[in-house]
A and B are shown apart, each in its own frame.
Chain A
Amino acid sequence: MKPGKIYLDNCVTSAMAPEVLDAMLPYFSEKFWYPGSFVSTGESANEALAGFQQVVADSIKADAAEIHFTSGGTLANNIAIKGLAGALKGGHVICSVVDYPDLLTNAAYLEKQGFEVSYLSADSQAMIDLTELKAAIRPDTVLFMTTIVNHVVGTIQPVREISDILAAAGHKIWFHADAGQAYGKIPLNMQELGIDTMSISAHKIHGPQGIGALYVRKGTKLGQVIHGVKRVDGLQTGGLSLALIAGFAKAVELNFSDFEGNVARLRQLSDYLYQKLQEKIPYIELNGAPGEGRAPHNINVSIDYIEGEAITMMLDMHGITVATGSACASQGLKANYVLMAIGKTHVQSHGSMKFTLSRYTTKEDLDFTVDTLAQITEELRSRSPLYNALRNQER
C-alpha cells in the first residue's frame, strides 16, 4: 500500500499545491536575487517581496508593513514572545495549559528569565475560562498568549472577548496569538481582533515547508532576537528564501480566493466524517467543542477499549495516515497533555484519534477511512480484555 494514500494529518503539514511549486520555480533559478538597492536585480526582488507581503497582509486585513516573513511558525512565535519579553524586561505573563508547545516552552523559558507565568485551566472542551482570565490579571501583567485554534481538539478560543478583557485592564497587556491551526481555516481580521503579534505558517495551507510569517501590529516594540545582517526582514535577519515566500503567497491566494467556499466545504466534510464515525463505530466520543465551536478541519474522537498506536499502525497499513494522543505512540510515553488537561481519562487519551482534513480531502477518502477504521476497531476490540469485560457485563 502506498504510504499516505489518504492523508488525514494535515494539522502537522499538508501537501503542497502544484500551483505553489510553479510559483516558486523562477525564484529558485533565474530570479534568485535578494532584495537590494540601486541595482535592478535587488530592486526586482524588492518589488516581488512587497507584492508577497501584500498578499499575506490582505488575508488577515493587515498592512503589508506589519507582515514579517520567518522560517516558519515556531520561529515567528519565538521572535514575538522573546522579542516582547526583551522589550518588557520582566513582569507577569498569562497563557493556558492547553496551549501549543511553542507557547508553553517559551513560557517556561520566560519563567527562567524571571517572569512570573500563570497558566489558565481549560474546560472539558478546551476553552479557556474568561472569568479565570479576569481574575488572573494583575497590575504587573504584561503579556497574554493563546493558541487561537487548539492544535489537538480544534477548539476556537474567543479572541475578541479576550482582547476586550485585556483592554479593560487599565494598562497595556500585549497579546500574542499562535494562529498555526487557525490561519486559512477561520476568519482572522487584525482590524477587529486586538492582537499585537500573531504567528502563521505556510505549509499548513498547502504552501511550502520552512516559511511562515509574524504579524506585528504597528507600534509594537520587539527586542531583537535574531542578530545579523538584514537581507529580507529585520526581525529574522540573514537570508530567507524568496522562492519559499513566493510559494507562501501563492498558497495564500489559493486558500483565500474562495475562503468561505473552502471553509464551508471543510466544515461539511468534517461534519460528515463525525456523523459517519458515530454511525459505524459504537462507544466513540468527540473530544473538544462540537459544531461551530471547533475549527472546520479537525475531528478528534476517543474510541473506547482500544489503544491508538495499534489503530494508527493498522490504518497506516491501509495507506491511511492519522494521529493519536496515545502515550504508546509518543517517544516520551506520555498521554496527550491537552486531553488530560480537559479531563479525559488515560484510556480516552490512549484511544484518541485526530483526523485533520485539507482542501484535497474527498468524501470517498472519508468513506474508505471510516469503513477501514470500523473493521480495525472490531478486530482490536475482539482482542481487548476491557471490551470483553464490558461484553460480559452486558450479558
Chain B
Amino acid sequence: MQYSQKVLDHFMHPHNVGKMDNPDATATEGSPSCGDQVTVYLKVNHDSKVIEDVSFLSYGCASNIATASIITDLAKGKSLDEAKAITWRDAMEALDGLPPVKVHCSVLAADTLQTAISNYEIAHGLKEVPNFSKDTILEELKKIIYPQVGEDIVSLKMVKYVGFTDGEVLIDLNMMSFDSWRQNVAEEIHEHLEKYPEVKKIQINFP
C-alpha cells in the first residue's frame, strides 16, 4: 500500500490545522474507537455567506490528517453553496488518489465539513432541521466505503433493501459469508446511523 506524494505532503505539513477561537460553526464526526475523529471549524461572512476561514483537528492516521487538510483547502474562500458541492471524491482527486482501504478517511473529512456547514445553516435559520427518513439512511449508506475496492456500498449495488419503521432500521446487504469486510462494513453502518436520535435499532441482514 502506497500513499501519493500529495498525501504525504499534506500529512507532514497539513494546512489549516488547529483549534479555532470563536468559530461560527463546528462539527465533529467519527469516533476514537474506530480510529479516526475529525473536528472542523468554520468562520463564515454573514453577509456574503463565504467561508472566510476554516480549520480542523484530527485524531487518526496519515490519510485522515491529509484528507482533512485538503478538504479545508477546498472549502476556504468558497460560498456555502459552492462548499456544499464538495464531496469525498473531490478530496480523493485533489490528493491524487488514496489506497482503497483508506478511502473512508476522505468520506469522514467531507462529511465533517458538510455537517459543519449544515450546523451553520440551521443555526442561522437558512434551513430547517431535516426530517429523518429512509432517504437519510440511503444518504448515509452512500458514505460507507467497501474497503476492498474503495467505492461506496450503494454504488457497488451491495445494498439490496432499506427499511425504516418505528425507529428500526432494516438493511439487507449483498455480502457473502466469506467476505472478510462484513464486520467492518456493519460497524461503519452502526457508527453512521446511531448518531440519529430517531434510530432505536439497526438490523443488518446478510445472505
Closest to B101 in A: A333
Q: How far is the CA of A333 from the CA of B112 in the complex (A)?
A: 21
Q: How far is the CA of A309 from the CA of B17 in the complex (A)?
A: 19
Is the C-beta of A189 less than 8 angstroms from some C-beta in chain B? no
Binds A, one of B42-50, B53-61, B79-87, B133-141: B53-61
Which residues of chain B have C-beta atoms less than 8 A from A309's C-beta? 61-62
Which residues of chain B have C-beta atoms less than 8 A from A332's C-beta? 180, 184
Which residues of chain A have C-beta atoms less than 8 A from B58's C-beta? 383-385
Is the C-beta of B110 less than 8 angstroms from some C-beta in chain A? no
Residues of A in contact (CB 8 Å), total 28
Is the C-beta of B97 less than 8 angstroms from some C-beta in chain A? no
Which residues of chain B have C-beta atoms less than 8 A from A328's C-beta? 35-36, 60-61, 64
Give the contacting residue for B19; candidates A327, A347, A388; CB below 8 A. A388
Is the C-beta of A329 less than 8 angstroms from some C-beta in chain B? yes
Q: How far is the CA of A332 from the CA of B60 in the complex (A)?
A: 16
Is the C-beta of B12 less than 8 angstroms from some C-beta in chain A? yes
Per DSSP, chain B at the interface is: mixed
Contact A310 B60 (CB under 8 A): yes
Is the C-beta of A82 less than 8 angstroms from some C-beta in chain B? no
B100-132 at interface with A (beta carbon < 8 Å): 101
Q: How far is the CA of A347 from the CA of B32 in the complex (A)?
A: 6
Q: How far is the CA of A387 from the CA of B59 in the complex (A)?
A: 9
Contact B37 A345 (CB under 8 A): no
Contact A310 B62 (CB under 8 A): yes
Q: How far is the CA of A305 from the CA of B180 in the complex (A)?
A: 29
Q: How far is the CA of A230 from the CA of B60 in the complex (A)?
A: 52
Closest to B187 in A: A333
Which residues of chain A have C-beta atoms less than 8 A from B60's C-beta? 307, 310, 328
Contact B61 A305 (CB under 8 A): no
Give the contacting residue for B101; candidates A313, A331, A335, A388; CB below 8 A. A331
Q: How far is the CA of A388 from the CA of B21 in the complex (A)?
A: 13
Which residues of chain B have C-beta atoms less than 8 A from A384's C-beta? 57-59
In the complex with contacts A383-B14, A385-B28, A310-B61 CB distance below 8 A: yes
Instruction: State the Cβ distance, B190 to closest chain A Cβ, in Å.
Output: 14
Contact B33 A326 (CB under 8 A): no
Per-residue contact bits, chain B 147-167, to A (CB 8 Å; 1 contact, 0 not): 100000000000000000000
Contact A313 B14 (CB under 8 A): no
Is the C-beta of B144 less than 8 angstroms from some C-beta in chain A? no
Per-residue contact bits, chain A 316-339, to B (CB 8 Å; 1 contact, 0 not): 010000000011110111110000
Instruction: Identify which of B1, B33, B36 gathers the most chain A CB atoms within 10 Å of its CB.
Output: B33
Residues of B in contact (CB 8 Å), total 28
Contact B184 A333 (CB under 8 A): yes
In the complex with contacts A384-B59, A385-B58, A385-B59, A327-B35 CB distance below 8 A: yes
In the complex with contacts A317-B12, A331-B1, A386-B59 CB distance below 8 A: yes
Contact A313 B62 (CB under 8 A): yes
In the complex with contacts A307-B36, A350-B35, A385-B37, A313-B59 CB distance below 8 A: no
Is the C-beta of A221 less than 8 angstroms from some C-beta in chain B? no
Which residues of chain B have C-beta atoms less than 8 A from A307's C-beta? 35-36, 59-61, 64
Q: How far is the CA of A313 from the CA of B14 in the complex (A)?
A: 15
Which residues of chain A have C-beta atoms less than 8 A from B147's C-beta? 333
Closest to B147 in A: A333
Is the C-beta of B38 less than 8 angstroms from some C-beta in chain A? yes
Q: How far is the CA of A335 from the CA of B58 in the complex (A)?
A: 19
Which residues of chain A have C-beta atoms less than 8 A from B14's C-beta? 383
Which residues of chain A have C-beta atoms less than 8 A from B1's C-beta? 331
In the complex with contacts A384-B59, A385-B57, A346-B33 CB distance below 8 A: yes
Q: How far is the CA of A328 from the CA of B103 in the complex (A)?
A: 12
Which residues of chain A have C-beta atoms less than 8 A from B91's C-beta? none
Which residues of chain A have C-beta atoms less than 8 A from B11's C-beta? 310, 313
Per-residue contact bits, chain A 218-236, to B (CB 8 Å; 1 contact, 0 not): 0000000000000000000
Is the C-beta of B39 less than 8 angstroms from some C-beta in chain A? yes
Which residues of chain A have C-beta atoms less than 8 A from B184's C-beta? 332-334
- 26 CB-based A-B contacts, threshold 8 Å: A307-B61, A307-B64, A310-B60, A310-B62, A310-B64, A314-B12, A326-B61, A327-B35, A328-B36, A328-B60, A332-B184, A333-B101, A333-B184, A335-B35, A346-B32, A382-B18, A383-B14, A383-B57, A383-B65, A384-B58, A384-B59, A385-B38, A385-B39, A386-B59, A388-B19, A388-B57
Q: Hey, which bits of chain A sit against chain B, CB under 8 A?
A: 305-307, 309-310, 313-314, 317, 326-329, 331-335, 345-347, 350, 382-388
Q: Hey, which bits of chain B sit against chain A, CB under 8 A?
A: 1, 11-12, 14, 17-19, 28, 32-39, 57-62, 64-65, 101, 147, 180, 184
16 extra A-B contacts, CB within 8 A, seeds A307-B60, A326-B35, A385-B28: A307-B61, A310-B60, A310-B65, A313-B11, A317-B12, A327-B35, A328-B35, A332-B184, A350-B32, A382-B17, A383-B58, A384-B58, A385-B38, A385-B39, A385-B57, A388-B57
Query: Across chains A and B, which 3 residue pairs bring their CB atoms closest together, nearest first?
Result: A328-B61, A309-B61, A385-B57
